[in-house]
Chains A and B, each alone.
Chain A
Amino acid sequence: MSLLSQAVVSGVLAGGLYAMMSLGMSLSWGVLKVINLAQFSFILLSAYFTYQLTVSLGIDPFLSILVCVPLFGLAGMALQWVFNRIRISEFESLLFTFGLFIILESLAATVWTADFRRLSTEQNPYVSESIWIGSIALPVPQLAAFVAAILVAFGVRHLLRNTHFGRAVRALAQDRDVAVAFGVDNGKVSMQLAGLAAGFSALAGVFIAMSRAIFPGLAVEWFGIVFSVVILGGLGSTLGTLIAAVIIGVVGAVATVWGGPPMAPLAVFLVLIATLLFRPEGILGAARRDT
């Protein structure tokens, strides 16, 4: 029993990390209509930056958030500026950012070599630390990611529901042309949103660096989990993304305990297919509107 409950908890927390990794992709795809594989590169590079800052400056890995998030936020905005400029279509964006993904991965390999990079326990004590609730352990990095994911998800939800910016974004999400016709500044709004999305990915990168070893080839391993979360959560729905990520984390964890780890991906993907069949627009229903 303690096994199952611990597994479920760690699944929930893992879900937090998945959510953090997926929010950028979901917003970008759902609202901006940009299937932005570069989000994966942002996560990876942000993780490397975190590693580098921690090692060379000896700072607390958490502090690198202050550098990475704004930095990649700007990168995201710049990229969106280009997309707006060339009026890129949804699937062209997939290929464009795939090219970018290749480039950034090889850059990472040039700078940090293909070798594993992992913060040692002295540099990153959090990796083995936990907060205890009774007999249940909450590992710090995952917990941090989970909390961050909740804050971001609800923060964005609030932003989109109660601010002018949010109304503009929702307008764009529903029908860009109409929104523009009604005077929404597509360029400005989309760049702001892209900046947010990239910032979220950067945040995820920090937590990745704190919880595991990184290497350039790692990014492509995230495709499966992130796309699953994005699909399950419904494109563009932040809250949906969070819930979906938790579901996936828990399903994976329970499947791991009951059927063995290889069962985890199978279980997750079956849940995914079921969702697509019976809630094609994602668990929260009309995702676009729900954003």
Chain B
Amino acid sequence: MRLRPAAAATVVLAVALWFVPEFADGFPIFYLLFAYNVFFWIAQASSWNLFTGSSGYFSFGQGAYYGVGVYTVGVLVAKRGWPLLPTFVVAGILGALLGLFIGLIVFRLRKLRGEIFALMTLAVAFVMGAVARVSSTIDGGQGIPLSGVELPQALGDFPAMIFRLGLIVATLAVLAAQVLHHSRLGWGLFAIRDDEAVAENLGVPTFRFKMMALGISAFLASLSGAVHSLQISYVTIEDVFNIRVPLLVILMSILGGTRHWMGPVVGALVVYTLNDRLNAAGLQDVSDLIVGGLLIFMIVAVKEGLYLRARQRPLRAAIGFAVGIGPPIVLGLTDSAITVMAYGLLGAVLLLMLPVTAPVEEAVPVHG
């Protein structure tokens, strides 16, 4: 398959970003950590959407794959002293195996669809936590401190390292989503999403395709979880196997738009940035009101997702962003680039939320 412009752009961007840490004196190191977190959520959201967005099988299982990744590092590296980088790959593979195992059961043994499939994945996530709790080889309630873990020096000091690791995983996830989006696999999945029986009857190997997508998705989610364990630095069941990750991932993908690979990327950037700035904006008691409120309004007002909406209304997005960054620049609150960006995104989002008047059919074809 030839390299498409989008993919090329992604690779170029990734390579460029790779060297950002070299100029770390020019900006607060926190930017690297912030960027890492955005990468993390991009990887998670993209991996979720890779399967669910394409196939229409709604999964709550993200927490399970993520957790497998985190605990693989916790157990093998912190407890057994395995080297870090190889373990990442192992974590990804274990996650993929879990995904394929689930797939085998729900797609072959039983043909579960819709809600039942969603509930099944939710149940699996619960079980993973329960298993970690009873098994003292995994956790057993003690939790696992990762303070002693040997970090690879090759990638630079911690901020640079985790930034680069996150960058790699996010790039992989986005590339995977792009390739899928334009491949026979992708089209097969889109067909499955629209009408699985007809797709099968037209020659789409539905079972194999669903398994492939699930495997890739789980691999990426678990890999990204493994990297994230370094950020957590102290792994506990409550922190890892909670409902937070799956809910946020679903949230980001749907807000950004599940129909295009850019959707989860946009969703992750917007949600994480606003969440970070609002939650840290002090007045904690009201910041939650805003996060919740924004969420509600976005769901109501931008059903097709921010990305597609922005593509129909690029002007709105641009104006919104400009208006957004206005106040802080006027008020001279430019000491934090992230805050300024947050204003921009907020402005863009709010403007995009205004009702669309012109017919949406004008929308550029979603796929292709």
A residues touching B (Cβ–Cβ < 8 Å)?
29, 86, 88, 90-92, 94-96, 98-103, 105-107, 109-110, 220, 223-224, 227-228, 231, 235, 259, 262-263, 265-266, 268-270, 272-273, 276-277, 280-281
What A residues does B242 contact at CB under 8 A?
220
Contact A227 B119 (CB under 8 A): yes
Q: A106-B289, A228-B126, A262-B134 are in contact. Are A100 and B112 (CB under 8 A)?
A: no
Minimum C-beta distance from B297 to chain A (A) = 8
What's the Cα separation between A105 and B126 when bound, in Å?
23
Contact A103 B300 (CB under 8 A): no
Contact A231 B123 (CB under 8 A): yes
What's the Cα separation between A91 and B129 when bound, in Å?
24
Contact A92 B303 (CB under 8 A): yes
Minimum C-beta distance from B68 to chain A (A) = 16
Contact A95 B254 (CB under 8 A): yes
What B residues does A109 contact at CB under 8 A?
285
Contact A269 B126 (CB under 8 A): yes
What's the Cα separation between A88 and B299 when bound, in Å?
9
Chain A CB within 8 A of B280 CB: no
Considering only CB atoms, which chain B residue lies closest to A91 in the complex? B58
Q: Which 9 A-B residue pairings sit nearest by Cβ, starting from the closest?
A: A106-B288, A99-B295, A102-B292, A103-B292, A266-B130, A99-B292, A99-B296, A265-B130, A269-B127
What A residues does B119 contact at CB under 8 A?
227, 231, 276
Chain A CB within 8 A of B80 CB: no
Chain A CB within 8 A of B8 CB: no
Q: A102-B295, A266-B134, A276-B120 are in contact. Are A95 and B112 (CB under 8 A)?
A: no
Q: A262-B141, A277-B105 are in contact. Are A235 and B115 (CB under 8 A)?
A: yes
Minimum C-beta distance from B86 to chain A (A) = 30
Contact of B292 among A100, A269, A281 (CB under 8 A): A100
Of the stretches B181-189, B196-204, B243-251, the one at the interface is: B243-251
Considering only CB atoms, which chain A residue lies closest to B111 in the complex? A280
Considering only CB atoms, which chain A residue lies closest to B58 in the complex? A91
What B residues does A29 contact at CB under 8 A?
115
Contact B134 A263 (CB under 8 A): yes
Q: Which of B290-346 contact A (CB under 8 A)?
A: 291-296, 299-300, 303
What B residues does A107 contact at CB under 8 A?
289
Contact B112 A272 (CB under 8 A): no
Minimum C-beta distance from A27 to chain B (A) = 14
Minimum C-beta distance from B313 to chain A (A) = 20
Contact of A277 among B109, B127, B129, B250 (CB under 8 A): B109
Minimum C-beta distance from A254 to chain B (A) = 15
Contact B289 A95 (CB under 8 A): no
Minimum C-beta distance from B5 to chain A (A) = 32
Contact of A262 among B115, B133, B250 (CB under 8 A): B133
Chain A CB within 8 A of B11 CB: no
What's the Cα separation between A90 and B247 when bound, in Å?
14
Chain A CB within 8 A of B116 CB: yes
Minimum C-beta distance from A66 to chain B (A) = 30
What A residues does B109 contact at CB under 8 A?
277
What B residues does A86 contact at CB under 8 A?
300
What's the Cα separation between A94 and B254 when bound, in Å?
11
Contact B292 A273 (CB under 8 A): no
What's the Cα separation between A107 and B288 when bound, in Å?
9
Contact B129 A265 (CB under 8 A): yes
What B residues does A92 contact at CB under 8 A?
254, 299, 303
What's the Cα separation between A156 and B97 when bound, in Å?
43
Minimum C-beta distance from B303 to chain A (A) = 7
Given contacts A99-B292, A99-B294, 12 further A-B contacts (CB under 8 A): A91-B254, A92-B303, A103-B293, A106-B289, A110-B285, A235-B115, A265-B129, A269-B123, A272-B123, A273-B124, A276-B112, A276-B123
Minimum C-beta distance from A217 to chain B (A) = 11
Minimum C-beta distance from B344 to chain A (A) = 22
Chain A CB within 8 A of B131 CB: yes
What's the Cα separation between A220 and B115 when bound, in Å?
21
Contact A273 B295 (CB under 8 A): no
- Could you pull out 14 A-B pairs where Cβ atoms are within 8 angstroms? A90-B115, A91-B254, A96-B296, A99-B292, A99-B295, A109-B285, A110-B285, A220-B242, A220-B243, A224-B126, A231-B122, A262-B130, A266-B130, A269-B127
Contact of A266 among B112, B133, B250, B296 (CB under 8 A): B133
Minimum C-beta distance from B225 to chain A (A) = 20
Chain A CB within 8 A of B2 CB: no
Minimum C-beta distance from B294 to chain A (A) = 8
What's the Cα separation between A109 and B250 when bound, in Å?
26
Minimum C-beta distance from A25 to chain B (A) = 12
Of B123, B141, B254, B291, most buried by chain A (CB within 10 Å of CB) is B123
What's the Cα separation between A104 and B243 when bound, in Å?
17
Contact of B300 among A96, A220, A281 (CB under 8 A): A96
Contact A276 B296 (CB under 8 A): no
Considering only CB atoms, which chain B residue lies closest to A270 in the complex? B127
Contact A94 B141 (CB under 8 A): no
Q: Which of B95-142 contact A (CB under 8 A)?
A: 105, 109-110, 112, 115-116, 119-120, 122-124, 126-127, 129-131, 133-134, 141
Interface string of B249-262 (1 = CB under 8 A from A): 01100110000000
